[in-house]
Amino acid sequence: MAENFEISTQHREELVDITPQVESLVRKSGIQDGLVNVYAQGATSAIMIQENWDESVQTDVVDLLRKIIPQGAWLHDQQDGNGDAHLKAGLVGPGESIPIIDGHMGLSRWQNIFFCEFDGPRDIRRIVCTLIST
């Protein structure tokens, strides 16, 4: 079963916690044991599992990626100026698969699911959740 949801983003680069939306789809599916694959449909976005105690780690992720992959230094910038966004998206990756255990996601206490925006703001970003029962 595949279920989609959409979000909007407010900044060029930001992390948006989408754990509640995914957990809601897991519950709705009724699956007790299995896997949920969370997939970002967009070549300048990604999915990262990360802590959400406060905004510090999210800010650190954006800063780290800016440092490793600076803006404006890439061949692809001649096309549409977002070479860094593509590289960040490729390195982090578009998806993560998370265990479903007893009807809930098997995340640990400090693991949340983040949509990573690298070329925003965007009105619509689509995330596909594929739910598989074992």
**Contact positions vs a copy of itself (CB under 8 A):** 1-2, 33-35, 37, 39, 41-43, 48-51, 53-54, 56-57, 59-61, 63-64, 68-69, 74-76, 78-79, 83, 86-87, 89-101, 106-111, 126, 128, 130-134
Closest CA to 13 of 54, 52, 64: 64
Coil, helix or strand for 80?
A: helix
**Least spacing, CB of residue 74 vs a copy of itself, in Å:** 4
Nearer to a copy of itself, 17 or 63 (CB): 63
**Cβ within 8 Å of residue 94, ≥6 positions away:** 39, 40, 41, 42, 45, 46, 47
The DSSP symbol for 76 reads: T
The smaller minimum CB distance to a copy of itself, of residues 1 and 28, is found at 1
What dihedral angle (degrees, nearest 10) is formed by the CA atoms of 115, 119, 121, 123?
-70
Q: How far is the CB of 40 from a copy of itself (least distance, A)?
A: 8
* Complex with a copy of itself: residue 109 or 123, whichever CB lies closer: 109
H or E segment at 25? Answer: helix 19-29
First-last CA distance in the chain: 13
With respect to a copy of itself, which residue has the nearer C-beta, 16 or 131?
Answer: 131
Shortest spacing between CB 43 and a copy of itself, in angstroms: 4
Q: How far is the CB of 10 from a copy of itself (least distance, A)?
A: 19
